[in-house]
Structure 1
Amino acid sequence: MVEGVSKTAVHEWIEETDRAEKAATDARQFALAERSTRASETSSQASVESAKTSGTAARAAIFAAAVSFFALVVAVAAYFKQ
């Protein structure tokens, strides 16, 4: 022990250091949780946008199939009308 430094002062310094380390750890964990939450929200938003795009593409494909079928019906009707 260093002369002139009481055991109480050393214990208080250790306790203060422990509290500071715990606060830093808590802050890091909070920051990680925040980043994780933001990443999850971004991923969810991307999934929603992807679903919207997929739905639009599906509707376009259905419309194209309907137009193709209608063209086929018109062609068959024209063929038998001759």
Structure 2
Amino acid sequence: MAPDLVLDDGSRLAGHCRTARFLLVTRDPGLAARAGGFADRLTVLPGPDMLVRPDGYVAWAGEAPADPLTPWLG
């Protein structure tokens, strides 16, 4: 399960996990911009880089893979 982090905007990650959407947590504006194509099923939040699946588990954390979203979001 994803840790209940306090995000850069002061919100808590656990509160966002209730939406049943993928959560992209990032401080990288380029990565956030690439996420726009998945806006129908992904929420972008400010904080340390990770992708959280709708079930609350971390798909990846730390340095983003070369293609960080397509394998998970299609």
Please report the TM-score for the alignment, with normalisation by the length of structure 1. 0.14
Larger Rg: 1
TM-score between both structures, scaled by the size of structure 2: 0.15
Judging by fraction of residues, say which structure has more strand: 2
